[in-house]
Amino acid sequence: MTTIDENTHRDGERPAVNDTSLLPVDEHVEEVSENGKKVRHKGVYLLPNLFTTGALFSGFYAIMVSMSGKFEFAAIAIFVAMILDGLDGRIARLTNTSSAFGVQYDSLADMVSFGLAPAVVALNWGLMPLGKLAWAASFAYTACVALRLARFNTQVDVIDKRFFIGLASPAAAAVVAGVVWVWHDQVIPEYVALFASLGMVFLGLLMVSNLKYNSFKGLDLKGRVPFVVMLIVVLIFVVVSIHPPMMLLGIAVIYGLSGPVAWGWHLLKGDSRGR
């Protein structure tokens, strides 16, 4: 593996690379601040990035199987990507293995799994008969995911971590995947395709809006909770198991609408900010 001569590194310059390596791959180096000092670390953390890679593969898999008409598997793959995406960040925080590389890799994986995959799956599922309108709606959705992720990355250190500004891309993808999963084996009428296309545009607008959504990052997974909390968790599993596609779609829709509803409620109360 390529080695780096740390003695030749100066501020504003790329570390010198020893070209004696047999592999044309640079060693990844990050410069972070620890106790007020800049420290350089080599390599990347394996565990959280394994989960990110799994989420990326799930999104890729969803695209590929949707081309073969296996829409149920495609929808499930997007939900699997959601689970893996939720785990990589929490594992990184729990194991103190967060890194700038992981943040960027996670966003790129999100773009595939929650931006490109839902749009392509929806197109193959039933939007294609609308022609250019379907293409425009799918592109609008994908572009809004990219914009939302770019905005999130630039504000990650300054926003209140208890809330998302705009609908998170995994939640938007869950709505699209839920619709496809529920009606995966049915012929889609043109008016339904039109409604679904408009819905994707609406989801895109929610993602780039300034509406607040609870991020649930304040949950303490390591601490003790009242016994009733475990009963609620069991009840949620029971309810979802009754009809997973419909129940997951319902949860995703309720969460997606929670932002506009809260905004409207604040407006009715006379809060000019709507928050």
For residue range 9-53, list pLDDT tens digits in order: 444 455 544 555 566 766 776 665 555 566 666 767 788 899 999
Q: Report the DSSP beta bridge partners of residue 164.
A: 213
pLDDT at position 5? 46
211 is written with which tokens?
Answer: 């509406």
Contact 124, 67 (CB under 8 A): yes
- Listed by start position, the domains of the chain span 3-42, 46-268
pLDDT the model gives residue 96: 81
Q: Mean pLDDT, to the nearest integer, of 214-233?
A: 78
Domain 46-268 carries which CATH code? 1.20.120.1760
Q: How confident is the model at residue 92 (pLDDT cuts 50, 70, 90)?
A: confident
Closest CA to 102 of 153, 29, 42, 48: 48
pLDDT at 221: 66
What's the mean per-residue pLDDT of the chain?
A: 84
Q: Which tokens in the block code for residue 61?
A: 């898999």
Q: What is the pTM of this model?
A: 0.83
When pLDDT is averaged across residues 91-95 and rounded to a whole number, the result is 82
Mean pLDDT of 79-84: 96
Greater pLDDT, 26 or 90: 90
User: Token pair for residue 6?
Assistant: 């740390």
Give percent of the chain with pLDDT exceeding 70. Answer: 82
Question: What value does the mean pLDDT take over residues 51-69?
Answer: 96
213 near 258, Cβ under 8 Å?
Answer: yes
User: Among 80, 153, 152, which Cα is nearest to 117's?
Assistant: 80
C-beta neighbour count of 188 within 10 angstroms: 16
When pLDDT is cut at 50, 70 and 90, the band that residue 228 belongs to is confident
User: Which is more confidently placed, 159 or 221?
Assistant: 159
User: pLDDT value at position 123?
Assistant: 95
